[in-house]
Amino acid sequence: MRVERARYFLAAVSTGSLRAAAEACGVSQPTIGQQLTLLEEELDAVLLTRSRTGVRTTPAGEALVGPLTRLVAAEDAVREAALASNGTYQGRVDLGGGSVTVELVVAPVVGRLLTEHPGLRFSVREGSSADIERAVAAGDLDLAVVTTPNTPPPGGLTRRRLLAAPLGVHVRPDHPLARRHEVTWDDVGRWPIVTMRPGTVLHQRLRTRLPDAEATVEAMSARTVQTMVARGAGVGLLARFDALTSLPGLVWLPLADADPVEVGLVQRTDSRPSRSALVVRRLIGARAEELAGRAE
């Protein structure tokens, strides 16, 4: 059995859609549909039910999620061991991300690269999600980890979902909203808002739901948002990642009517990653799994 077919199956299960799975895997939707059919023929079992709303696992498919996940992980481990034994960690990888994703995902990966693969060279560029995706599309960056907008990726790019976090607001403990367990967009819209700068997903979310909101600060980083909230500049709009600690004294409240904020790995569809880039991509995936485990 081709392990790549197991990857396609797991992508379909994760996204709930053949179209989304094809985008995540960097192939066309007909290709992934054909490969999943071949997988079902090889295993002599129907793994997915398809409908206009997406795909769902059958009992047989659900039973195979665990074994196929382990199969994919085993192949990844074999490839990484082979790369290490061949001394292939001598290349260069250019990474990108937003302020939150660089702190959450990229920085720990860079730390591992420095200690485990000192021969591999890298650079890191920080910017808004839109700017970073344009840099990947132009070939200036090999990989990027960004908060992903609700719109499809630009032409020539694929996004693979890494993790998600609830969207909410930071307030001071003396703020009237601090007594609530959760808030809504309408609640937030009554107050001055501290948010991230234009080009970020959070700024896009704010302007989509509250186009007339008073944005007192458009910050460069999540830490600046929190600092401004602590100083009384307004209500701070941020996603809640457990690894991203709040400033002491601030209260975080979930937005009950907001979708989670997703973090994704971005790369070009038409390029084959170098061996060094594959190493970095696997480390990024491992870091995302670690963060997702903490959230659970």
Whether residue 106 sits in one domain with residue 58: no
Q: What is the CATH number of the domain that holds 273?
A: 3.40.190.10
Between 254 and 242, name the one with better pLDDT: 254
C-alpha–C-alpha distance, residues 36 and 21, integer Å: 11
Q: Cα 44–48–54 angle (5° rounding)?
A: 160
Whether residue 188 sits in one domain with residue 157: no
Q: What is the pTM of this model?
A: 0.66
Whether residue 139 sits in one domain with residue 171: no
- Number of structural domains (the chain) is 3
Q: Given pLDDT bands bounded at 50, 70 and 90, which one contains residue 83?
A: low
Question: Of 68, 86, 104, which closes a domain?
Answer: 86
Whether residue 200 sits in one domain with residue 124: no
C-alpha–C-alpha distance, residues 6 and 20, integer Å: 16
Whether the per-residue pLDDT at 245 is higher than 70: the answer is no
Q: What is the pLDDT of residue 195?
A: 92
Q: Given pLDDT bands bounded at 50, 70 and 90, which one contains residue 166?
A: very high
Whether residue 241 sits in one domain with residue 130: no
**Structure tokens belonging to residue 235:** 């209500």
Question: Of 62, 86, 110, which closes a domain?
Answer: 86
Whether residue 150 sits in one domain with residue 39: no
Between 259 and 119, name the one with better pLDDT: 259
Q: What is the CATH number of the domain that holds 12?
A: 1.10.10.10
Whether the per-residue pLDDT at 285 is higher than 80: the answer is yes
Whether residue 152 sits in one domain with residue 92: yes
User: Which of 56, 112, 140, 166 lies closest to 281, judged by CA?
Assistant: 112
Q: What is the pLDDT of residue 296?
A: 52
Whether residue 287 sits in one domain with residue 146: yes
Whether residue 144 sits in one domain with residue 92: yes
Helix/strand/coil for 58: coil
What's the rounded mean pLDDT across residues 56-68?
Answer: 93
Whether residue 186 sits in one domain with residue 147: no
Chain segment 19-59, per-residue pLDDT in tens: 888 877 777 888 899 999 999 999 999 999 998 889 999 99
Question: Residue 56's domain spans which residues?
Answer: 1-86
User: Which of 105, 112, 123, 113 lies closest to 264, judged by CA?
Assistant: 105
Whether residue 137 sits in one domain with residue 267: yes
Whether residue 137 sits in one domain with residue 210: no
Helix/strand/coil for 273: coil
Q: What is the pLDDT of residue 80?
A: 67
